[in-house]
Chains A and B, each alone.
Chain A
Amino acid sequence: MPAHIKEIANELVHLQQPVEFEDKFRLLPAERLPELQSPGTMAIAAASLKGNNSLFALVCQKEAAPRFSMIRLMSRVSCPVMMTPVGSGTVVFPDDNIRRFVLVYERPSGKRLIPQVGHPVPKMDEEAIINGVIYNLLPALRELSARTLMHRAIRPENIFMTSDGRAMLGECLSTPAAYAQPVLYEPIDSGMASPAGRGDGGVLDDFYSFGVLLAELAMGGTLVQGQSDEQIIEAKIKLGSYGALVGQTRVPLKLMEPLRGLLSDDPYERWAMQDIEMWANGRHLSPKQVPLPPKAVRSISFAGKDYLTAPMLANAMRLNWSESKGLISSDHLDSWVRRALSNDDMGDLIVLAERTSHALATTGSGDDRAVSASIMALDPSAPIIYKDVAVRVDAIAQATALEFFEPGKVEQFLDIIRMKLSQAWVTSQTRTKPEFVAIVKQIESLAQNVKSMVPGYGMERAVYAGNEGWPCMSPLVGDHYVDDVKNLLPALESMVTAGRIEGAPVDRHILAFAMNHMRGNFDALLKRFEDPFNRDVYNGASLRILSDMQKQFGPPNLPALSAHMANLLIDSVENFHNTAFRKQLREAVESATSEGKLTTLQSILDNSQIKDQDQIGFDQAQVIFSNLEAQATWLEQGGLVSDENVRHVSDKTSAVISGVCSSLALVLMTIAWVF
C-alpha cells in the first residue's frame, strides 16, 4: 500500500457485530476479506437480504474519502468486466456507534494480478495479453469512455484474473481519483503532481495507465525497477514515456502499435477508445511519434546539474525551489531561453511572469509566484507547482481537502488561489481545451469562497464547495463519516455523550460544512464567530447554528448536546438581572435540556429580545432606586421638618382650614338670615 494512505484495517479489528445496510444488505465485519481490500479500506463480507452471499463491502476512511460524485455515476454502469458498486452510503456500526462509509460490490471471480504493489508483474504471452486483457477489458473501457467516467485505478494489483486468463477491472471508488496510483502508471504531468493533486483528470489518463499495464505484462517484472518516483518522472520527460518504459526492449510486434499509441505523452496524439477499437478490429495504425522537447545548443547549470531542455529544467526547479528563486532573479534563465533554446516567446513569458508576479502576489511572496509562473512557461504541460505543492489545475479543491491538516499546505493552496496561479496556468497553455471553461468556473468559485476568511468561509468552505460529498473534517465529529448535514448533529450528540467535546461543539470546519448544505443567509450570524475568545458570544452563536440545523434537518431530540450547550451557556442565565426571571429561565433550560430541544434552548439562552427587556427593566429599577435613595436621604437629613417646608405646608394648611371654617360660617349665617 502506498505510504501516504493510512492503513485502517488494523484499527477496526473491534468491529464484529453484523449490521444491516440500506435495508438491502447485511454487513459481516467479523468476516474479513484481506484479498479484496483496496488501499486505505477494510474489506468485509456482505450478503444481500435477498440471499446473494457473494458480496463484499469496503469500509472507507474519511481522511481519503471515496469519490462521491463518481459513485453515483458508476452505480448506473453495468459491465461484467468492471467492478461497479451495488450499494453505497453510510452506516453506523453498533460496536462503537460510529458512522462509516461503505461500498458494496459483487465479489470478483479470480485473483489479483499481483497481491500488492511492488510485486513483479508476471510476464504474459502476446495472445494472452490481447485476448485475455485487451479484448476482455474493451467493454469496460468502452463504457467508461462513452460516459466520460474516469477510472483512475488501472494498475496491476487492481486487475483480477480468472483461472482461464480473463481480466477484470477492480474497483476505483474507495479513495480519491488516482490517489493510490503508482507514479509509473500516471502520465508525466499527473506523476509530477502529488497523489492528492492528481484529480479525476480525463479518460485519456486511463488509457495511459492501460498502456503501462500492457507494457508491464508484455515485458514482465516491473518496469524501471529500483528507480524512485523522481527518477521515473525524469526518465519519462527525457526519453518520453514509451522510450523510458519500453526503451530498447523487444516487445511483441502486435503490441508495439497500441503501446506507442497509449503511452504517447501528448494527450492529443494518445490513443483513445476509437483507436483501440480500430486496432482490435484489425486496422493497423501507426501512431505518430511525439517529438521530444527541443534541446538547447548549450546546457544551463542549475542545482549542481546541467540541463538541455526546458521541461527537464522545469522539473528540476520543482524539486529545488529556493535555488529556483535565485535563477529567476538572475538573467541566466532569460538569456539561456533566448540564446541557447532560441525561444523568444518563452523568454517573454518568463520576463512577464517575473514582472507581474510582484504586483499579483497579495498574500505570498512575489518571488515564489515568479518561480511558479516561470515553470509554467518552461513546461506548460506540467501541473501547477508552488513551493511544496504540485497540483493539477482541476484538482486544487481535492488536494486542499486531502492535505488540509499537513503543516503549511493550506497557506500554499490559499496563495495559489489568491495569486491567480490557476488562471496563469490556463493562459500558459499552448492549446485550449473545452474543459478549460469548467476549470475557470471552478477556479472562480474557489476564489469566491476564500474572498472572506470569516468562519464559515475560507479554505474550509473551499473544501466542501469544491468536493461534492466530502465528509466533515472537523476533529469535533471524531471518526464519524458525516457527508450529509443530516448526520452532523447525531455525530456531535454521540461525541458529547462519549465526553469527547469540552467546549463549543462548533468550529470552522463544522461551520463551513453546514453553510455549504444549509438554506438561508447566515452572514450576520457568522460574524459572531470571529472572536473565539469571546466565549459567551461564540457559544450563543454556536447554539443558534445548531438549533437552526435541528430545525431544518432534525433529529427532534438531542439530550446530550442540549445539556452540553445548557452547561456552556448557563452563565448567561446568571447574567440576567431579574431574579424571578432567572429562576424561570433556569427551569425552562432544565425542561428544554431534558426534552433535547436545541430550538427551545436557543429561544431562551440566545434571545436578544428578552435580554434587552431585562436590561431596560434593570435600568428603570436603578433609576427608581436612585430616586428613592435621594428621597430617603432628604427625609433622614430632616428635609421634611425643615423650617422652610413646615412654613410652606402650614401656609397651605391654614389657608385650607380658614377656607373651610369660613364656608361653614357663611352657610350658618345664610341659614340664620333666611329663617
Chain B
Amino acid sequence: MGRLPLLLIILVLAAVLMPSAILLAVLMVPSLVVYVIDRNPHRYFTVTISLPNFCGVLPSLMELWERGQSFDGAFSAIADPWNMMISYGAAGLGWILYLGAPVFVSSYLSISTEGKIKSIRRYQDDLIQAWGEGVKQSANIAAVEEVEPQEQEVN
C-alpha cells in the first residue's frame, strides 16, 4: 500500500475518532520527534521509542474509550500529568534502551571476536591439511594486492 492511501485512511480515522486522535497526537510527541530525526532506513530508533511510548498511551486511551470518546474526556486525559508521565516515561525508557545498548553490544562483540578468529583459523588449518599449503596461495596474493594500495595512500 502506498503512503497516500495510508495517510487518507489515517485522516479518515482521525476525523471519525477525533478525541482519540487528539490524545494520541499529544501523548506520542516523542515518537513523532524520533520519526522526524531518525535517518536509518530501517527506522530501528523509531521502533525502539514508539513501541513503549504507545504502551504508555494505551491505558489513557482505554479510559477515554470507556468514557465514550468525548472531547472533554480527551482534554482531561491530556491535562492529567499522571498520563503524561506514563506515556513520556515509557518513551524515555525506550530512549534509555537505545542509548545504553551500545555499551552492552560492544562488550559482547569484543568477547566474541576472539572466538570467531579462532574458529576461522581452525577452519583454515583444516583446509591446509586437506589441500596442502598451496591453498594459501591466492590468499597471499590477495593480501599483497590489498597492502600495496594502502602503502600508496600513505605515501
Min CB distance, B121 to chain A, in Å? 7
Say whether A286 faces chain B, with CB atoms less than 8 Å apart.
no
B4-42 CB mask vs A (1 if < 8 Å, else 0) is 000000000000000000000000000000000000101
List the B residue with the shortest CB-CB distance to A577: B131
B152 at interface by CB-CB < 8 Å: no
Tell me if B52 counts as interface (CB < 8 A to partner A): yes
Is A578 a contact partner of B47 (Cβ separation < 8 A)? no
A236 smallest CB distance to B (angstroms): 76
When C-beta atoms are compared, the residue in chain A nearest to B40 turns out to be A651
- The chain A residue with its CB closest to the CB of B117 is A635
Give the most central of A618, A632, A659: most B CB within 10 Å. Answer: A632
Chain A residues with CB under 8 A of B48: 651, 654-655, 657-658
Q: Is A73 an interface residue (CB 8 A)?
A: no
Task: Determine chain A's interface SS by DSSP, over half rule.
Answer: helix
User: How many A-B pairs with Cβ below 8 Å?
Assistant: 133
- Per-position binary interface string of chain A over residues 649-670, scored 1 when its CB falls under 8 Å from any chain B CB and 0 otherwise: 1111111011101100110010
> When chains A and B are docked, how far (Å) is the Cα of A638 from the Cα of B104?
17
Contact A655 B117 (CB under 8 A): no
Q: Quick check: is B62 within 8 A (CB to CB) of the other chain?
A: yes
**B68 interface residue, CB < 8 Å from A?**
no
Would you call B129 an interface residue if the criterion is a C-beta within 8 Å of the partner chain's C-beta atoms? yes
Q: Which single residue of chain A is at the shortest CB-CB distance from B54?
A: A662
Residues of B contacting A653 with CB < 8 Å? 101, 104-105
In the bound complex, how far is the Cα of B48 from the Cα of A618, in angstroms? 47
Known: A651-B44, A658-B94. A665 touches B52 (CB 8 A): yes
Residue of A nearest to B111 (CB): A641
Q: How far is the CA of A658 from the CA of B116 in the complex (A)?
A: 28
Interface locus among A83-91, A147-155, A310-318, A619-627: A619-627
- Chain B contacts for A659, CB-based, 8 A: 47, 51
* CB-based nearest B residue for A626: B139
> Which of A577, A629, A657, A661 is close to B143, meaning CB atoms less than 8 Å apart?
A629
Chain A residues within an 8 Å CB radius of B123: 628
Binary interface encoding of chain A residues 604-631 relative to chain B, with 1 for a CB under 8 A from any of its CBs, else 0: 0000000000000110011111101111
8 Å CB interface, B76-118 against A: 94, 97-98, 101-102, 104-106, 109-110, 112-113, 116-117
Which residues in A have their C-beta under 8 angstroms from that of B62?
669, 673
Whether B105 lies near A622 (C-beta < 8 A) is no
Q: Is the CB of A622 within 8 A of B135?
A: yes
- Judge if B130 is at the interface, Cβ distance under 8 Å: yes
Q: Which of A578, A638, A650 is within 8 Å of B101, CB to CB?
A: A650
Q: Which residues of chain A come closer than 8 Å to B70, judged between CB atoms?
A: none
| A564–chain B nearest beta-carbon distance, Å | 28
B52 and A662 contact, CB distance less than 8 A: yes
Chain B residues contacting A629 (CB-CB under 8 Å) are 124, 139, 142-143
Find the B residue at minimum CB distance from A669: B58
Known A649-B109, A662-B54; contact A625-B139, beta-carbon cutoff 8 A: yes
Complex Cα gap A589–B37 (Å):
72
Bound Cα distance from A630 to B40, whole angstroms: 28
Q: Tell me whether A640 and B139 are in contact in the complex, defined as CB-CB below 8 angstroms, given that A635-B120, A662-B55 are known contacts.
A: no
CA distance A420 to B42 in the complex (A): 87
Of residues 194 through 245 on chain A, the ones whose CB sits less than 8 Å from some CB of chain B are: none
Residue A498, interface by CB 8 Å: no
Residues of B within 8 A of A661 (CB): 51-52
Answer yes or no: A355 CB below 8 A from chain B CBs: no
Chain B residues within an 8 Å CB radius of A630: 142
Measured CA separation A646–B113 after assembly (Å): 12
Q: How far is the CA of A652 from the CA of B49 in the complex (A)?
A: 13
A641 to B113, Cβ gap below 8 A?
yes
Taking A621-B135, A650-B101 as contacts, is the C-beta distance between A658 and B117 under 8 angstroms?
no
Nearest chain B CB to A650 CB, angstrom units:
4
Q: A652-B44, A657-B97, A662-B54 given as contacts; is B105 within 8 A of A628 (CB)?
A: no
Q: Does residue B134 face the partner (Cβ distance < 8 Å to A)? A: yes
What is the CB-to-nearest-CB distance from A485 to chain B, in angstroms, rounded to a whole number?
42
A646 contacts B105, C-beta separation under 8 Å: yes
Which residue of A is nearest B137, CB measured?
A622
A146 within 8 A of B: no
- Which chain A positions have C-beta within 8 A of B120? 628, 631-632, 635
**Cα separation A673 to B129 with both chains bound (whole Å):** 65
**15 A-B pairs whose Cβ atoms sit less than 8 Å apart in the complex:** A580-B130, A625-B124, A625-B139, A629-B143, A631-B116, A635-B113, A646-B109, A651-B42, A651-B45, A652-B42, A653-B101, A658-B51, A662-B54, A665-B52, A665-B55
- Contacts beyond the supplied A622-B137, A646-B109: 12 A-B pairs with Cβ under 8 Å: A577-B132, A621-B131, A621-B135, A623-B138, A629-B124, A640-B116, A651-B40, A654-B101, A655-B45, A658-B47, A662-B52, A669-B59
